[in-house]
Structure 1
Amino acid sequence: MTDRAVSAATPPLVLPTTGPDPIPVDTAVAAVLGYARGRRPLWFRSFDKPQGDWVQLPAFGWTRYDTLVTGPGGDDDVLIGEGLHGRLDRPGWADVRQALVTVAPVAAAAEERADGRPFWELPDDQLSVLGEPGTVGAAFREIDRASGAHPGHVRAVLHHQRPALVPHLTRSTRRALLPHSHEGDSGVEAVVHRELRANAETFSHLEHRVAALLGDARPTRLRLHDVLVWLATTLRLTHAVALGTATPEWRGHLEAVTAR
């Protein structure tokens, strides 16, 4: 089947956490391209050019997070968290570093409980209080309790370490997920799980399309869901789509899906 046929046959994403309207596949592709390749202007002065000039910087965190490779543990992990959530002062750095040490065995326990399965293939009871104790969801809740004063930084690191298992959550995305939680959910991760399961075909297509177009990173559907929810709930989705449709990768996408 051609890319064009696959794209035409792929249903839109139905994500209640982003709003009432489905997101067409092409819109999702454009949004992720905008997140990855979008630039923003900054007026910058330097010693060799004190009069200043405009420079173009990445608009979002792709190059500071998704494309980076780090070793197991160490200060590089804190830098990964800063890439998405901003610089930390010295006490903040120490807080995140200690939290990562504290939650490391809990994250390892979650991986063991998952038994090699990615997040979206976990049984429902792994994210329900009815299946506790000893579930992946219970481990996530324990991680949240031990994440200190900068839980967003800690989750960013843990997702980077286990991109197919640990959801990345921020204050804004947690607020978007919470109203969609059900009685018995062990946390808002259960909402992410339901949306990934309900849109499995489309997220699979999106994973492969984004990896083929960008080439510098292969985000899992867990990260793609996070990006789309964050863009939508912070009112950046329209801007990201506009940035994405102006990229060479978007032209490549159109050529691929219209080729006969």
Structure 2
Amino acid sequence: MPGRPAFELPTAGPDPLPWDTALAAVLGYARGRRPLRYRSPIEREGRWVQVPAFGFERFDRRPVPAGPLGDDDVLVAEGLHGRLDPDGWAAVRRALDDVQPAADAAVAHAAGRPFWELPDDELSVLGEPGTLGAALRGLGEPPGPQDRYVVAALHHRRPELVPLVTRTTWLPALPHLREGDSGVAAVVHRELRANAAAFGALEDEVGRLLGHPLTRLRLHDLLLWLVTTLRLPAAVALGRATDEWQHSPATALPA
């Protein structure tokens, strides 16, 4: 698309990701629906219903809980990763209590700066201790089954500061680590900085079309997740069928 730079994301593959493909994928993630056969206990026969295909409504659009990390944050994380059994729920809840001081310290240390505007030293072992990169690494690398819920809760609280990394997106970032990196957050930071214009344009257009902002940090995670889980073609097809796509000036030209 003229005037819209493609995304150069080595974590997602060797080929550039066209800007309009990325926009369609995000719209498909947010608006896409899939059929589900539903039958309540009081019905003799079921019926087909359309349900959200992805986690936008269950996670990204959920309001940010007030106060310290708590029960509501676990529920938000379940909206993205699925229900926990009682033992898992209790473990995540305890973990949120444990990380509260570190999360508060990281926010204070960032001093209002979003992740992509932090200096490189914040994601380097050369700047440790006390860097944001060290704090993020302490959340778990690789992220375990319960760590991903903790990270999701923290990202939902601070979507401009905490990368939403799961094992699925952590693995493709590993080969791109450089000497001195504090963890895979440094890889995410480099890709956001290298694609600042593309992510800035996507961030603006997504916020305008959806009426709900998604930070470029969340958009990076989302695009990487769609690519690595082979969901990108489905999300793009769903996105190009949305009203937002059909009426967006940014998509006036053929893809």
TM above 0.5, yes or no, is yes
Distance 1:82 1:227 in 2: 17
Change (3 A) 1:160 1:81: same
Structure 1: gaps (5+ residues): 1-6
Among residues 231, 245, 250, which one is paired with 2:245 in the alignment? 250
Residues paired across the two proteins, number? 250
Among residues 43, 47, 52, which one is paired with 2:37 in the alignment? 43
User: Which residue of structure 2 aligns with residue 97 of structure 1?
Assistant: 93
Give the superposition deviation at 1:107. Answer: 1.1
Residues 20 and 251 in structure 2, CA contact (< 8 A), matched pair in contact too: no
Structure 2: gaps (5+ residues): none
List per-residue Cα deviations over 1:141-183 (Å, max 9, x = no partner): 22227x8750111100000111110000111000111111111
Among residues 114, 117, 120, which one is paired with 1:121 in the alignment? 117
List per-residue Cα deviations over 1:16-67 (Å, max 9, x = no partner): 1111111111111000000001111111111343211111111100000111
Among residues 115, 126, 130, which one is paired with 1:130 in the alignment? 126
List per-residue Cα deviations over 1:166-217 (Å, max 9, x = no partner): 00011100011111111111110000000000000110100110011111x2
The secondary structure found in structure 2 opposite 1:40 is strand
Alignment of 1:212-251 (within 5 A): 212-215=208-211, 217-251=212-246
Say what the alpha-carbon RMSD is for the aligned residues: 1.6
Greater displacement, 51-60 / 227-236: 51-60
Residues 159 and 215 in structure 2, CA contact (< 8 A), matched pair in contact too: yes
The secondary structure found in structure 1 opposite 2:247 is helix
1:160 and 2:156 matched: yes
Alignment of 1:1-260 (within 5 A): 8-69=2-63, 70-72=65-67, 73-144=69-140, 150-215=146-211, 217-253=212-248, 255=249, 257-258=251-252
The structure 1 segments of at least 4 consecutive aligned residues displaced by more than 4 Å after TM superposition are: none
Change (3 A) 1:134 1:169: same
TM-score (norm 2): 0.94
Residues 245 and 251 in structure 2, CA contact (< 8 A), matched pair in contact too: no
TM-score (norm 1): 0.92
Change (3 A) 1:88 1:257: closer
Distance 2:235 2:113 in 1: 31
State the identity %. Answer: 61
Distance 1:104 1:65 in 2: 20
List per-residue Cα deviations over 1:61-91 (Å, max 9, x = no partner): 0000111102233311001110111100111
